[in-house]
Amino acid sequence: MIAKAVSVAVCASSFVYTFYVVCNFTYFLSNHNENQKSMLRTAEEESVVVATIWTLFMDTCLLCAFMVQHSVMASDFVKNIYRRLDIEEIERSVYNTAAAGAIHFLMSNWRPVSWATIWSINTFHSTSLWLIFTSIHVMAWLIIYGGCVVMDISELMGLKQVYYKISGRQKPLIMKSEQLQRLYSHMRHPSFTGFLIIFWIHPFMSVDRCLLAGLLTAYMILMWTVDQKDYEYHKSVMQMKHRKLL
């Protein structure tokens, strides 16, 4: 009984904290007014170069910490630890909490380089431009969150695993087909395209944002291993659903 109560507490707290961080991360990536309000630094050229290099180094460390957490905790080695301890039902909740913590730490300590930009489109004084970029980001986030719902949001958040354990059922992933399990193991997130839009279509591309976009894009490319078999399976499922709707 105590084990079940602990599982529910871990799952519930993970859900609340993850939801809070995701909301803040959405604003962190898509807001495009705050940076344009920042004052440009007026230091000597040499000190600006040094400050820029040091700031980018610290931001790179934050991104690396997030990527290491994301990769290590998703490894078979860590999953086997949960299996040996017979606490597999909270594995996803702990993973989400750790990922949210890494993102929270990144956002809290991120150092913008507002004085060095690759491009800058003023949306602060243009309602039309603000609406265009905001609409693009809203669409991208809808794609991302919609993909989470389609993939089973309760399982992604770790809720279903705990519920199934408490009710004496098998793990939810086991009840899925081998092809779907294979696809999930190769696809780290339901929307690759959505994040590319969020990262790169932004009116204020400072050097630090370019660093974030570049490293996270490279990370996604390396970690997504969806192949032809996964594509064919996904295509057949979509065709089957299409036929049922006709």
- pLDDT digits 0-9 by tens, 90-100: 888 999 999 99
**Which of the four pLDDT bands, split at 50, 70 and 90, describes residue 190?**
low
Name the 3-class secondary structure at 227: coil
Q: Which of 162, 64, 168, 59 is nearest to 114 (CA)?
A: 59
DSSP state of 41: P
Residue 133 parent element (H or E) = helix 127-150
Longest C-alpha distance within the chain, in Å?
A: 67
pLDDT tens string 58-110: 999 999 999 999 888 888 888 888 888 888 888 889 999 999 999 999 999 99
Q: Measured between alpha carbons, how far is 73 from 78 in angstroms, rounded to an integer? A: 6
Question: How large is the angle between the packed helices 207-223 and 192-200, nearest 10 degrees?
Answer: 170
What is the domain range of residue 137? Answer: 2-245
Output the pTM of the full model. 0.83
In this predicted structure, what is the pLDDT of residue 243?
Answer: 67
Rounded to whole angstroms, the Cα distance separating 27 from 213 reads: 15
**Structure confidence by residue, pLDDT tens digits, 110-120:** 988 877 888 88
Q: What is the pLDDT of residue 167?
A: 81
Domain count, the chain: 1
pLDDT at 211: 94
